[in-house]
Amino acid sequence: MNKDKILNLINNSINKISEEFDIELNSENDKIYVYSELGTFDSMMLVVLIAEIEEELLLNFKMEVTLTSDKAMAKSTPFESNLSILNLIIESQN
């Protein structure tokens, strides 16, 4: 599993959806805040993002991932940022 390629896929999905919904992203260094106090996505945008990422992972990496699993939802901020989403994906493959 190539973390950089997956992170790039996540970032592209975040950017695509932020453009579709015409919102500005909040980021610092390599971290893009998504769904948290610092994030700019609302719940509808988050649903679209989750579906987009799951579909792209399947198409590009043949990875079947469910980002809304019980294990993922047990975390306090699973969709806080691009990096927390990457961690969910990595953990789901272990």
Q: Where are the domains of the chain?
A: 3-92
Tokens coding 10: 């996540």
Interatomic CA distance for residues 3 and 28, integer angstroms: 19
- Please tell me whether residue 81 adopts helix, strand or coil conformation: strand
User: pLDDT at position 88, please?
Assistant: 93
**Amino acid of residue 94:** N
Fold (topology level) of 3-92: 1.10.1200
Q: Is the pTM of this model over 0.75?
A: yes
User: pLDDT at position 94, please?
Assistant: 75
List pLDDT tens digits, range 5-55. 999 999 999 999 999 999 999 999 999 999 999 999 999 999 999 999 999
Burial of residue 94 (CB within 10 Å: 0-12, 13-18, 19+) is exposed
Beta bridge partners of 32: 27
